[in-house]
Amino acid sequence: MYEIRIHSRGGQGGVTAARMMASAAVKDGKFATACPFYGAERRGAPIVSFVRIDDKPVRIYSQINKPDMIIILDPTVMDTVDVLDGLKEGGKIFINTNEETPFPPGFKVFRGDLTGIALRENLVVSGSAIVNTPVIGALAKLGLFTRESGVEAITDTFTDPRNTNAAKAAYDEVIV
């Protein structure tokens, strides 16, 4: 089973991204669950979501304490949350930034400017860039699911073509 923990802020689309990730994996013939974890949070508060993907039915619907991958949709979350807590040795990190970010050795780090892509596509709500669809393109590039399944999961959720355009841009721009 491949376990992913997503760190975001309320209003960025982290919970929706988790659902679309699970949907894309299912479209590829996998089994998957998505599970958010938050209380009475508000826009801007730290949020954590979880995704499990496997070749057999996933019967666990809970928090993930030892993820294979961490996704950081807002780097400022790292100021208050230990996002690497429990990340398996050799685990992967994807961070939404265009700047070098130091992490301890032993992890494979990927980055992409999802915020820049969202702003270019005008995916903004209440002044905040919504990065849930660009991250789907980035994760397809990393091989979590196919690009086609990612785009289909997005179009099942959103009809506005800016969302699929953002995912395709992220797929093209993330360097693996």
Write the pLDDT tens digit of every residue in 14-65. Answer: 999 999 999 999 999 999 999 988 665 567 788 899 999 999 999 988 899 9
DSSP annotation of 70 reads E
- pLDDT reported for residue 170: 97
- pLDDT reported for residue 132: 95
pLDDT band for position 167 (50/70/90)? very high
Helix 161-173, helix 147-157: angle, nearest 10: 150
Average pLDDT of span 128-157 = 96
**CATH number of the domain residue 15 falls in:** 3.40.920.10
Entry pTM: 0.94
Calculate the alpha carbon distances from 166 to 38, 44, 160 in Å: 26, 22, 11
Residues 145 and 29: their CA atoms lie apart, in Å, by 10
Report which secondary-structure segment, H or E, holds 133: helix 132-141
Type of residue at 103:
F
Q: What is the count of structural domains for the chain?
A: 1
For residue 125, the enclosing domain spans 2-173
Q: Of 73, 96, 102, which is closest to residue 15 (Cα–Cα)?
A: 73
Q: Of 90, 93, 86, 88, which is closest to residue 112 (Cα–Cα)?
A: 93
pLDDT band for position 111 (50/70/90)? very high
Residues 62 and 49: their CA atoms lie apart, in Å, by 10
Asked whether residue 121 carries a pLDDT value surpassing 90, the answer given is yes
